[in-house]
Structure 1
Amino acid sequence: MSDSPYGDLDRPPLHEAALQRALVRPGGLWREVRVVPETGSTNADLAARAREGAPEGTVLVTELQTAGRGRLGRSWTAPTRSGLMFSMLLRPAVPVPMLGWMPLLTGVAVATAVRRMTAWSETGEGFLAGERTPERGDAAVDARLKWPNDLLVGERKLAGILVERVEGALVVGVGLNVGLREAELPVPAATSLAIEGAPLSDRAPLLRAILRETGTWYREWTALEGDPETSGLRTAYKDLCTTLGRTVRVELPGDETLHGTVRDIDGAGRLVVAGPRGDTAVSAGDVVHVR
């Protein structure tokens, strides 16, 4: 018997062998998908493997993360099996100035997969279990992107992305709230797919969809040497970005604050903010949407 009031059947485990069979293919991006029951941080673990020479396409997933980190060192916690916590090891052969697109690319992939996998059938009979593109008329959880690395539904945070450079590689971490109930949320500003009406008890199809979407975008983007225009990445990101057109407050490094209206996402993935002194391109900062 489980100690959880919701029971184990409500939060089934991920199966490493099944994920390996579904995702690891000759010539494909994903080389290894490992699932561990618990760890401190998948990013930290995969960074250590990167230093040891682990290949691109290594993925580490955990059922419980006890020391997960977001931007600015913020903690990220969730009950066992209530979300998707995983990291990907990538070695993109693109110009260094284009590496800033990696968290944005990941955001596009995660948001697209979430929207597709939580679509309603046309009969309104419930959320789809298959990995398919929603047909016209389907309604989806309206997952949107907050620059640079958060997924929101409305103004509540559904997922976070953390990209770290490790000796020429990138470790890309994703934390996505799937089955959390209101009482389990770490902060009131968070949400989950369950809270938004998409009770996906089996997280495996969603994880497969995210990794496949990431692989598709990553292969296209790197084949075009990181060009966000010809790959379509900049257009896709702007279509999903809820920060565009918003009045914002940006907390910049060095205790500076920028106030203004977001006018664009430029070719380097930077936020272009129109303020009192004209346009400012921001490559790093904590963005607050001003109501």
Structure 2
Amino acid sequence: MKNPAGNAGPARSPFAGGGVWLWRDGAPGLAEPLSPEALAAAHPLWAADVARLSPFREVVLGPQHGPAAGVWLAAAGAAGACAAPVFVTGACASSLDVARVLGEARLLPPFSSVLALSQTGGRGQMRRQWVSPPGNLYAALSWPADAGELGAAAPVVVGACLADALYARGFPAQVKWPNDLLADGRKVGGILIEERGGRVFAGIGLNLASAPDPATLRRDHAAEAACLAAFGEVPGAVTLWVDLVKSAQTCYRLCVAVSGSRALSRFLEGRLAWLGREVRVCEGGSHEYRARIVGLAEDGGLRLRRDEAGPGQVLTLLSGSISLL
């Protein structure tokens, strides 16, 4: 392709058309190599995905593509059709780490994502370990960095959009403030927002086929763990993820359209777990008190009524944790 001056312009990214891509070669120290055969052998849910994504065509990227140089496998099956690229990797420390590297190379436009087979160093809030065996979903979603008024509420907005998408697919999903996904009151996922170099990534873990052993959970966990398969049919990690991202993108645009208005809070509250329930609030590590959830503030803060502090007094919690009494 030539620019008007007749000089060679920058090469068009092979990922610009979206689709699902398997990182066959991987990258030393970042992600292990991955083939369709290895993916299918890892778990039945992945095997179902490989069948839907096949056939694959090989694409070789040169050194000009930086960390993405090497061989990739583009899914040619119908299930691989998506506007924003999904990069599927072998085992890695964290999908967020892979996303950071690809993001620095400008390969992750908004709503593109990294989906890892498994993680050796998955992390949740407060740097807690996120157990990551094959079969579940470990994604890093590139979130718009110019979210404006929605930026401060990113964890709740991401959670509400995902919960809304899951609910539409028959799962009783809600978002527990500020960043957990529940199904029928049990934790099936979590969200971690990280900002690196002006880029925003949402790390998303979803228990599709298995949940952590209760003995491995911290003593103060707020909700029992469960997997989505206990609430309905899970089509496969890639298949479900592509569907969720499409819905989340549409949901985000709707949130932008009503940002700054009460309509946004009403939408977010519609997917909020424990609305109207009395909870124990832990703020600042050791400061605990009882309150009732009455809604969400426009900045994503949790609105609580704490009668012991004064009749009908409503306060906004910006950071902390909550659990049902």
State TM-score, norm by structure 1. 0.76
Counterpart residue number, 2:319: 284
Counterpart residue number, 1:274: 305
Find the aligned partners of 1:182 and 1:52 in 2 and give their Cα distance.
34
Is contact 1:91-1:168 (8 Å) kept?
no
Compared CA separation, residues 280 and 168, structure 1 to 2 (3 A)? same
Counterpart residue number, 2:243: 209
CA shift digits 1:246-275 (9 cap, x unpaired): 211222235333421112211111101112
Find the aligned partners of 2:154 and 2:304 in 1 and give their Cα distance.
21
Find the aligned partners of 2:106 and 2:46 in 1 and give their Cα distance.
34
Find the aligned partners of 2:126 and 2:78 in 1 and give their Cα distance.
32
Counterpart residue number, 1:154: 184
How far off is 1:205 after superposition? Answer: 2.9
Compared CA separation, residues 113 and 160, structure 1 to 2 (3 A)? same
Q: After TM superposition, list the pairs within 5 Å mapping 1:1-291 onto structure 2.
A: 8-9=43-44, 11-12=46-47, 13=49, 15=53, 17=75, 18=77, 21-24=80-83, 30=84, 32-57=85-110, 58-80=112-134, 82-95=135-148, 98-117=150-169, 140-180=170-210, 187=217, 189-196=224-231, 198-222=232-256, 224=257, 227=259, 229=261, 232-253=263-284, 255-275=286-306, 276-277=308-309, 278-290=313-325
Larger mean CA deviation between 187-196 and 233-242 belongs to: 187-196
- Percent identity (aligned): 22
Counterpart residue number, 1:131: none
Q: Which has the higher contact order (CA 8 A, sep 6+)?
A: 1
How far off is 1:19 after superposition? Answer: 8.4
Q: Paired residues, what number?
A: 252
CA shift digits 1:48-85 (9 cap, x unpaired): 333444442231001111211111222111321x2111
Q: Considering only aligned residues, what root-mean-square deviation do their CA atoms show, in Å?
A: 2.9
Partner of 2:243, secondary structure, is: helix
The residue identity in structure 2 corresponding to 1:191 is A
Find the aligned partners of 2:123 and 2:167 in 1 and give their Cα distance.
25
Find the aligned partners of 1:93 and 1:8 in 2 and give their Cα distance.
37
Is contact 2:93-2:120 (8 Å) kept?
yes
State TM-score, norm by structure 2. 0.68
The residue identity in structure 1 corresponding to 2:118 is L
Find the aligned partners of 1:279 and 1:159 in 2 and give their Cα distance.
29
How far off is 1:104 after superposition? Answer: 1.6
Compared CA separation, residues 271 and 205, structure 1 to 2 (3 A)? same
Counterpart residue number, 1:127: none
How far off is 1:175 after superposition? Answer: 0.5
Find the aligned partners of 1:186 and 1:195 in 2 and give their Cα distance.
20
Partner of 2:241, secondary structure, is: helix
Is contact 1:68-1:77 (8 Å) kept?
yes
Is contact 1:19-1:33 (8 Å) kept?
no
Q: Unpaired segments of 5 or more residues in structure 1?
A: 25-29, 118-139
Find the aligned partners of 2:158 and 2:250 in 1 and give their Cα distance.
11
Larger mean CA deviation between 83-92 and 13-22 belongs to: 13-22
Compared CA separation, residues 185 and 217, structure 1 to 2 (3 A)? farther
How far off is 1:22 after superposition? Answer: 1.3
CA shift digits 1:1-54 (9 cap, x unpaired): x9xxx9844542555625894112xxxxx2x31000211111122123334444
Partner of 2:298, secondary structure, is: coil
Is contact 1:98-1:268 (8 Å) kept?
yes
Structure with larger Rg: 2
How far off is 1:233 after superposition? Answer: 3.6
Partner of 1:269, secondary structure, is: coil
